Amino acid sequence: MAGTLGYNREHCHFILQALWQRLLTKGPVPQGRSSHGFVIIDHRAYVFGGENSPRVPIGSTVHCLDLSTQEWSVCQPQNKDSEPQPINAAAVAALGDSMYVFGGRSGITMGEGNTNQMYVFNTRTKEWRTLETSGDIPMARSYHTMLALGKALYVFGGCSEKGRLNDLHRFDVATNQWEKQPSYDVIEGRGGPGLAAVGETLYVVGGFAGREMNDVHAFDTAKKTWRSLTFNTPLPPRSVFGIGSYGNSIMVVCGEVDPSDQGHEGAGNFSNEAFVLDTSNPQDWVRVTTEGDVPEPRGWFSAAFSDEEKKLYIFGGNSETNERLNDIYSFQLNV
């Protein structure tokens, strides 16, 4: 497993260690936010959307951080009239030079202003486009998740006017066509889930289904079949956390472990722990021993993995004091 440093004979498990580093950025730092989008393209991190006040969309500005110089800048779109309306709790994913944005909501109350529109921002030309899509278009939603695999995007779950969802959809970026994937009724509908890919397999991890979840379900994108995983050592339940994959491993960092009694108006109980699952032998979620600039506990943020640096980056989120954050950290397993 990536990151294995040694074997603890007393407890009979592998020891994983990782280094957190806070980036000392400069330039026009984005306003603190949660429920935003965050991707990495060509050694630059991009931040879009989210909220600074509970449920109030923050705006449509795209912020860019050069990871080499650690300097922020604002991406001024070439066609500002085409940028999306301010949206919160959308899902984003990077594919090629572009950041794709799907769904989210523009209203204050849950479900208000939900959309199922797909937008794309070309980071090279700085142009927004609203895509005309066809096929099995997913219903409008927020607090869902999306990732790129091959030349397609996959969207899972989220919250709609009809309640929490457990559906999976594939979007072909060449044809702009949606295809609904087989359903799996074992999965309870949920918001704030994690979605990671290892090879051709998608992994749905945790989320909030009226309670924090820790289940894991795998979808083979080639065979279009589902299966559920069971563990000797499960992941502590959580939602709205950071997730990424490296080799055969899935990394989970931070997240909400107990929801707020004020709903989306307040802060829940958050974690700053990290866990790793080896999907080639998925028996135990291993808690990672972390050192360095360990971030304060948080949830409702977004994470993105840098293939070039082999690091998982996280930006912002909600803190235990209900303050929206604008800090950025890297997380790297020691190998």
pLDDT at position 304 is 98
pLDDT greater than 70 at residue 4: no
- Residue pair 64/44 in contact (Cβ under 8 Å)? The answer is yes
pLDDT band at 113 (very low <50, low <70, confident <90, very high): confident
Q: What is the DSSP string of 58-120?
A: --SPEEEEETTTTEEEEE--TTGGGSPPP-BS-EEEEETTEEEEE--B-SSSTTTTBB--EEE
Q: What is the pLDDT of residues 44-53, one digit of tens each?
A: 999 999 999 9
pLDDT greater than 70 at residue 201: yes
Among residues 105, 141, 190, 324, the one annotated as catalytic is: 105
Helix (H, G, I), strand (E, B) or coil at 226: strand
pLDDT at position 110 is 58
Average pLDDT value over all residues in the chain: 93
pLDDT greater than 60 at residue 176: yes
Tokens at 99, concatenated:
């950041």
Q: What is the pLDDT of residues 146-175, one digit of tens each?
A: 999 999 999 999 999 999 999 999 999 999
- Residue pair 70/23 in contact (Cβ under 8 Å)? The answer is yes
pLDDT at position 15 is 80
Nearest to 207 by CA among 192, 195, 218, 197: 192
- Residue pair 250/279 in contact (Cβ under 8 Å)? The answer is yes
pLDDT at position 266 is 54
Rounded to an integer, what distance in angstroms lies between the CA atom of residue 299 and that of residue 278? 23
pLDDT at position 229 is 98
33 is catalytic: no
Among residues 33, 141, 164, 298, the one annotated as catalytic is: 164
238 is catalytic: no
Rounded to an integer, what distance in angstroms lies between the CA atom of residue 235 and that of residue 297? 17
* Full-model pTM: 0.93
pLDDT greater than 80 at residue 283: yes
pLDDT band at 107 (very low <50, low <70, confident <90, very high): confident
